[in-house]
Structures are given as structure tokens and as C-alpha cells.
């Protein structure tokens, strides 16, 4: 304890980075087999953050075992180690007020936690055991398997229309045999058949040094990364880095396809999208980021769609656009890091509307989207959005944990420090770049739409017949809005009867 405090008190500010660098070099000498990838952000904070990233995820789920990556991560973070039960672990963490979080996406699995420097040794001792010496007990397995099944059956299908719509949209874009073709938590029928042996096998094959990237931030002792490196050398080396697995965007049939999920619900939630050939690694990503922010910055009133649909018309609570996967958006203002993907989609999220406005809002979303493609962005919108994003990167990375998360993602996408990268790229960007990116990447000829609603058959018939869906308001609207409503209420949605399906909610993610 004393040693740690002395270290913290005497550590020069930015010199921390140098100290750790020399440690890193010696760690290689100490253990020639260790080849741990690391991202280190030393500083003077009394809080120490871990983000332990494995380059594996739902895309590595074997066929018929959809949900195995997720269940394996849950078993590590919410199950016992070989020497301690899960109850003993949570008891040990209790006085430190720490926990160990996990997140599984298609290609990344991350374990994260923050401890006060006072408790670093105890905390690290616990999480090391959990990851390197797991217990894989049958009772933990049954509990966590049921939790995952209940998440799909009840939380997603039965309690969150918005997330449900978004996740269904992904399954419309990625076919079942695609590595991205199932929900991260899996499928109910596959989970029901899973065994502890499946979890052990997945752990053996995927929790390898080749897949590991160790992320540390905060006021940890200078020799700490070296110790971590030595400890994690225990993992099997792993023969391949899973990032070499080939992933390609599916070739979608042109035209619109709509899936209506029928559910007993008060309102109607809509998600629209299609694959794009741009990830954060691409040269045009900053340009598309400007477009998405302008058109629908997440949870911000400062965006075009929000202004048109919510502010001007009061249709719902908000309307946003995305170029990266952003789960749990209804609960948070900023995205979680470590959801890196090689394949992304462009997505529009229309928050629930009154059912009688479902048809109108669908038309409005398509109308506004088509308008964006046709007209692009104005000089003024471009300048202000660029300025916004240049400063907003500070907000995105305002905590140590977020800085670490973004740094890990930048490593994945082979970028420099994310805030610096964004500011530099945005400064160079021109309106022409942005409008070219709109034309190049945002094509609406293969749009997929997921809608969660009560009267699915009624909405399907209305969409197919293209009957007028006039909006009525409880207050007079300015002429520009009522004129535009005339265009929207009759806006033609071209979809073949075979391309609009109705599915009962209990059939999704089954």
C-alpha cells in the first residue's frame, strides 16, 4: 500500500508513458513467448481501468450454437473461477464497489472494470483468476443460460420495441448463414441445447494470446503491465488471429423489403437500413460521420430528422441516423466502445409513434432520406456539423474508461489517437467530399425496414395499397409543413407483396 501511494505521489505527469514503455520492453525479455498486444494509458488518476479485449465474438459462434460467444463471456465474468464460487467473487468485490463487465459483439468481446488504486492488487487477483482459471460450473451455466434465453424471450421480445426493431433489421440484412446473421445473445433454440462442454471448447479455441489486446489506464504501478503480460502468457498462443476470417457484405436483392413484427403494444417502432462499405478505418468515414450527425445525431435535438419529425410535427420522442452499430441507444447518450466491426450498416431509427401515424412516419423517413440523397448537405450545415464533431470528440472521450475504449478501437481500425484523428480529418474535409460520400455510399436501392406494431396486417395492407395516410395535428401547422405533409402522405413506397412479411414476435430470435 505504501509503495503504491509513493508511486502515485512522485509520478511525474506525462512521464508515466515513458516509464511504462521501458517496462514493456523488459517484459518481452522476461517472457519470450508472451506476445500480448496492449494499449496502455498511464496517468495519475487514483482510478485504474481495465479493458481486456479478445478479438472474438458472435461471428465465431459455430453453426447451430448461436449465442455461444456470449454465454462463454457471461460464464467468465458472471461465473466462478476454479478456486472460488461466483458468490465468493462478488463477496470479495463488494467492499471495493467493483464489478466486472462484459460485452460481446460480432468480432469483439471485452471485459471491463475500474478499481480504486487502493484495491488494485485484490481486484486484479480476482479478474485474473476469472479469465485465466475459470470454473465453468454447471450451476453457473444453467443460471446464465436461462438469463440469456430470458433476455431474448422477454426483455427483447416483450419489453423493448425499439431494440427489438433494430435487432430484427440486422437479421434482415445479414442472412442466417452469414457470420453476422444472428443476434449477439444468440437464438433461443440453440441456447437451449448448449452444454458446458461447448463453453469450454469455445474458450479453448478463442481465448488465446493471438486474440488478446490488454487495455490499461490510470495510475497503475510502472511494473504492472509487465506482470499482467506474464500472467496472460498462460493463455494458449492461438494459431490464427480471427481477424483474418473473411467477411463480406451480403449481396442484397435490390428493392425494399419490410418485416412487420406483430406485438401487443401501444405504439409503432420503425428501423430502416442497408449495408455500407465504410468502417471507421475507411478514408471516407469522417465524411459519412458528418452526414449521419447532420441527418440524425444520436439523442440530439440538433439534427435534421429530429427537427422535421419531432420538433416540427411532434410525431415521437426522437429520430436518429447511424453508420456504426449502436446497441442500447435508448439508455445512453454515447455509444459504448469496443463494438468494432468490419461490416457496418447505415441505419435510421424512428422512435415509437402512435399506431395511426405509422404509415405516415414510414413515408416521412423515406421521403427525408431520399431528399438527403438528392440534395446532399448545404455549406452551412456542413460547417456547423463539422465544428460540432470536432469538439464533440472531447465529450465522447471524457472519461478514462472511454479513452481506453476508443484507443483499443483505434488500434483495431489502424488509426492514430481517435480525437486527434477526427480533428485532423474533419479539418481537411470539404463539402464536396461529404456530398460525394452521400452519393457513393448511401444508396436506397436495397433498403430493409423492420417495424414493430400491433396491427401488422393492417399496416401491411396500407403500405401495399399505397393509400394516402394524411396526418392530423392537435394544433395548426405552418404552411411549409402542411405542404410537405401533402407530399409525404402520398409518397409512394414501392414494395412487392412478397417482400413485405408479417411475423409474430414469439418467432423472432427463436
Partner 1 sequence: MKLLILASLILALPLFALAQKPRKAFAYDYTIDDLPNGLRLITVPTDYPNLVALYIVVQTGSRNEIEKGKSGYAHLFEHLMFRGSERFTAKQRDDILKKAGADSNAYTTDDRTVYHEVFSKDDLDKILALEGDRFQRLKYEPDAYKTETNAVLGEFNKNSADPEEKAYEVLRATAYKSHTYSHTTMGFIEDIQDMPNQFDYSWQFYSRYYRPEYTTIVVVGDAKRADVLAMVKKYFGDWKRGSYAPEIPAETEQTEAREQHVDWPSETLPILYVAFRGPAYSDDKKDKAALDLLAPIAFGDNSDLYQNLVLKEQKVDSLSFIFEDRADPELFLVAAKVKDAKDMDYVKQQILATYSRFTKEPVSKAKLDSTRSRMRYAFALGLNSSEAIAGALASYIALRRSPDTIEKLFSVYDSITPEDIRQAAAKYFVEKHRSIVTLTTKKEVAK
Interacting positions 214-253 with partner 1 (CB under 8 A): 219, 229
Q: How far is the CB of 310 from partner 1 (least distance, A)?
A: 6
Query: Among residue numbers 155 through 174, which ones bind partner 1 (CB under 8 A)?
Result: 157-162
Assigned C-alpha cell, 106: 460480432
- 288 and 375 Cβ atoms separated by less than 8 Å: no
Residue where the block lists cell 509503495? 3
Tell me if 338 sits within 8 A of 110, measured CB to CB. yes
* Beta carbons within 8 Å of 505's beta carbon, 6+ residues apart: 157, 158, 164, 261, 262, 263, 452
CB 340 within 8 A of CB 55: no
Cell 439534427 appears where? 303
- From CA 152, how far away is CA 347, in angstroms rounded? 22
Q: Using CB under 8 A, pick the residue from 75, 104, 345, 353 that binds partner 1.
A: 353
Min dist. Cβ of residue 248 to partner 1 (A) = 27
Q: Which is nearer to partner 1, 311 or 370 (CB)?
A: 311
- Tell me if 133 contacts partner 1 by CB under 8 A: no
How crowded is the C-beta side of 4, counted as CA atoms within 13 Å? 15
Per CB under 8 A, the list member of 122, 153, 200, 227 interacting with partner 1 is 153
Q: State in angstroms the smallest separation of the CB of 444 from partner 1.
A: 26
Candidates 395, 457, 468, 490; binder of partner 1 (CB under 8 A) is 395
Which one of residues 328, 391, 439, 467 is an interface residue with partner 1 (CB under 8 A)? Answer: 391
* Type and span of the H or E element at 103: strand 101-104
Which parts of 429-458 interact with partner 1 (CB under 8 A)? none
- 379 burial type by CB count under 10 A (0-12 exposed, 13-18 middle, 19+ buried): exposed
Binding string, residues 276-305; x marks residues near partner 1 by CB under 8 A? -----------------------xxxx---
Residues near partner 1 (CB under 8 A), total: 109
Report the alpha-carbon distance of residue 154 to residue 148 in Å, rounded.
10
Does 105 engage in binding with partner 1 (CB under 8 A)? no
Helix (H), strand (E), coil (C) string for 331-348: CCCCCCCCCCCCCEEEEE
Binding span for partner 1 by CB under 8 A among 18-26, 65-73, 341-349, 463-471: 18-26
Residue 96 touching partner 1 (CB under 8 A): yes
| Residue choice 24, 252, 446, 503 for contact with partner 1 (CB under 8 A) | 24
Give the 3-state secondary structure of 263-312. CCCCCEEEEEEEEECCCCCCCCHHHHHHHHHHHHCCCCCCCHHHHHHHHC
Cβ proximity of 112 and 131 under 8 Å: no
Task: Output 147 or 489, the one with its CB closest to partner 1.
Answer: 147
Q: Is 33 in the site for partner 1 (CB under 8 A)?
A: no
Decide: 83 and 137 in contact? Cβ < 8 Å.
no
**Region binding partner 1 by CB under 8 A among candidate stretches 63-71, 94-102, 198-206, 455-463:** 94-102
Closest approach of Cβ 97 to partner 1, in Å?
A: 4
Q: Which of 14, 83, 239, 498 touches partner 1 by CB under 8 A?
A: 14
Alpha-carbon span 413 to 341, nearest angstrom = 9
The contact pattern for partner 1, residues 53-92, with x = CB under 8 A and - = no contact, is ---------------------------------xx--xx-
Rounded to the nearest whole angstrom, what is the least distance from the CB of residue 150 to partner 1 in the complex? 5
Strands of 500-504's sheet in order across = 319-322, 344-353, 268-276, 448-453, 257-262, 500-504
> Which CB sits closer to partner 1, 65 or 157?
157
Near partner 1 by CB under 8 A: residue from 3, 95, 239, 498: 95
Give yes or no for residue 373 binding partner 1 (CB under 8 A).
Answer: no
Contact 110, 402 (CB under 8 A): no
Closest approach of partner 1 to the CB of residue 186, in Å: 17
Residue 87 CB, shortest distance to partner 1, in Å, is 5
Which CB sits closer to partner 1, 185 or 343? 185
CB 16 to partner 1: min, Å: 5
Considering the complex, state which of residue 198 and residue 229 has its C-beta at the smaller distance from partner 1: 229
Cα–Cα distance measured from residue 426 to residue 21, given in angstroms and rounded to the nearest whole number: 31
Question: Smallest distance from the beta carbon of 253 to partner 1, in angstroms?
Answer: 31
**Residue 494 binds partner 1 (CB under 8 A):** no
Contacting residue, 330, 446, 462, 464, with partner 1 by CB under 8 A: 330
Angle, vertex CA 420, rays to CA 419 and CA 421, nearest 5: 90
Q: How far is Cα 436 from Cα 376, in angstroms, rounded to an integer?
A: 9
**Segment lying near partner 1 (by CB under 8 A), choices 135-143, 184-192, 238-246, 426-434:** 135-143
Shortest CB 255 distance to partner 1, Å: 30
Amino acid at each position: 500500500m505504501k509503495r503504491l501511494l509513493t508511486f502515485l505521489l512522485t509520478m511525474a505527469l506525462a512521464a508515466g508513458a515513458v516509464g511504462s514503455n521501458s517496462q514493456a520492453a523488459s517484459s518481452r525479455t522476461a517472457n519470450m513467448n508472451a506476445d500480448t498486444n496492449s494499449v496502455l494509458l498511464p496517468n495519475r488518476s487514483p482510478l485504474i481501468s481495465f479493458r481486456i479485449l479478445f478479438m472474438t465474438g458472435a461471428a465465431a459462434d459455430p453453426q447451430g450454437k448461436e449465442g455461444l460467444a456470449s454465454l462463454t463471456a457471461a460464464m467468465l465474468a458472471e461465473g466462478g473461477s476454479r478456486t472460488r464460487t461466483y458468490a465468493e467473487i462478488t463477496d470479495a468485490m463488494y467492499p471495493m464497489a467493483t464489478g466486472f463487465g462484459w460485452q460481446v459483439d460480432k468480432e469483439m468481446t471485452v471485459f471491463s472494470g475500474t478499481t480504486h488504486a487502493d484495491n488494485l492488487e485484490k481486484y486484479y487477483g480476482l479478474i485474473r483468476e476469472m479469465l485465466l482459471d475459470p470454473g465453468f460450473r454447471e450451476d453457473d451455466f444453467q443460471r446464465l443460460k436461462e438469463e440469456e434465453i430470458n433476455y431474448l424471450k422477454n426483455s427483447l421480445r416483450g419489453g423493448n420495441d425499439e431494440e427489438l426493431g433494430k435487432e430484427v433489421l440486422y437479421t434482415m440484412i445479414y442472412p442466417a448463414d452469414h457470420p453476422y446473421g444472428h443476434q449477439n445473445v444468440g437464438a433461443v433454440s440453440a441456447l437451449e441445447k448448449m452444454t458446458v462442454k461447448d463453453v469450454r471448447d469455445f474458450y479453448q479455441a478463442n481465448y488465446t494470446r493471438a486474440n488478446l489486446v490488454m487495455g490499461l489506464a490510470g495510475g497503475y504501478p510502472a511494473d504492472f503491465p509487465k506482470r499482467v503480460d506474464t500472467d496472460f502468457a498462460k493463455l494458449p498462443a492461438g494459431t490464427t488471429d480471427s481477424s483474418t476470417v473473411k467477411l463480406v457484405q451480403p449481396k442484397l436483392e435490390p428493392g425494399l423489403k419490410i418485416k412487420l413484427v406483430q406485438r401487443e403494444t401501444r405504439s409503432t417502432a420503425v428501423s430502416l437500413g442497408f449495408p455500407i462499405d465504410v468502417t471507421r478505418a475507411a478514408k471516407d468515414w469522417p465524411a459519412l460521420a458528418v452526414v449521419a450527425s447532420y441527418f440524425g445525431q444520436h439523442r440530439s435535438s440538433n439534427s435534421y430528422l429530429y427537427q422535421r419529425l419531432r420538433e416540427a410535427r411532434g410525431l415521437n420522442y426522437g429520430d436518429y441516423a447511424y453508420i456504426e452499430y449502436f446497441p442500447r441507444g435508448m439508455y445512453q447518450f454515447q455509444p459504448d466502445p469496443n463494438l468494432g466491426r468490419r461490416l457496418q450498416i447505415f441505419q435510421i431509427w424512428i422512435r415509437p409513434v402512435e399506431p395511426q401515424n405509422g404509415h405516415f412516419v414510414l413515408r416521412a423517413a423515406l421521403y427525408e432520406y431520399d431528399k438527403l440523397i438528392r440534395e446532399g448537405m448545404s455549406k452551412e450545415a456542413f460547417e456547423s456539423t463539422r465544428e460540432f464533431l470536432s469538439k464533440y470528440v472531447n465529450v465522447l472521450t471524457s472519461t478514462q474508461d472511454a479513452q481506453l475504449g476508443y484507443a483499443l478501437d483505434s488500434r483495431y481500425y489502424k488509426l492514430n489517437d481517435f480525437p486527434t484523428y477526427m480533428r485532423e480529418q474533419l479539418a481537411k474535409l470539404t463539402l464536396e467530399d461529404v456530398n460525394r460520400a452521400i452519393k457513393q455510399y448511401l444508396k436506397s436501392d436495397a433498403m430493409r425496414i423492420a417495424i414493430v406494431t400491433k396491427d401488422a396486417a393492417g399496416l401491411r395492407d396500407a403500405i401495399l395499397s399505397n393509400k394516402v395516410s394524411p396526418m392530423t395535428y392537435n394544433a395548426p401547422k405552418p404552411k411549409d409543413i402542411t405542404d410537405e405533409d401533402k407530399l409525404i402522405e402520398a409518397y409512394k413506397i414501392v414494395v412487392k407483396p412478397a417482400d413485405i412479411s408479417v411475423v409474430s414476435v414469439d418467432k423472432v430470435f427463436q
